[in-house]
Structures are given as structure tokens and as C-alpha cells.
Amino acid sequence: MRNFIITVDGKRYEVGVEEVSQGAAPAASAAPAMAAAPAPVAPKANLSGTKVVSPFPGLIKNLLFANGAAVKKDQPILVLEAMKMDNDITAPCDGVITYQVQKGANVESDAVLAVIA
């Protein structure tokens, strides 16, 4: 077995890799185990109102209101991380917000993030 030390995002992982002969499945172990990334969230069916769409791909870092909260035009409603930068996404109008994504979700450009009715 060969041991390696790998650093990912400042966290150190010790990994043991077993050498195997041809045709055998390789075995590897990592300590500590890394958590799986959150799965992307599919948009909800009811989208009546003003849609707030993602201007670029990124990670939903924080939702700034609860579903059903009243928001004002130009008020930040969520934080979208892209290229290691936090970007405030603002409300395009006054109304009641319904998020279509969850914190930790990865989104693509033009994904519906919220609906304001």
C-alpha cells in the first residue's frame, strides 16, 4: 500500500492506495470521509409572479429571507457564490418571496432562484 497526503481547500487528507494486479478492482480509503455535495434542486411547478433568475452559474451560499417573507425592490434576497466571490442577488420588485432553490445548491445561468408575487 502507498500512502499519500492530499490537501483540499485547506483540509489535509491521508489516503492509502493499494496496488493491485491487472483485472482486480483498486481499493482506496480516505480519512476523514468527504461529504457529498448537495444535489441541484429542480424548480417548483408554481412560478406565477416575477421570476428572479441566476445571472451566472454558482453556489447558493445563503438565503436572506424565509419563504413567504415580504421583500422590497433592490433588497438583497440571496447570496450567490461564483469564482470565490459572494454576489448579492436583489429583488426586482416588491412582493412576497418564494425560493425555488436551497442553500448549498449549485445552479446554472438563467436558473429560477425565486419568485416574487
Sketch out the chain's domains with CATH numbers. 2-31 (no CATH), 50-116 (2.40.50.100)
Return the amino acid letter for 116: I
What are the angstrom distances between the C-alpha of 24 and each of 16, 18, 20, 46, 93?
17, 11, 6, 50, 60
The pLDDT score that the predictor gives to residue 116 is 97
38-91: per-residue pLDDT in tens? Answer: 444 444 545 789 999 999 999 999 999 999 999 999 999 999 999 999 999 999
Of the candidates 47, 95, 50, 99, the residue with the CA atom closest to the CA atom of residue 71: 95
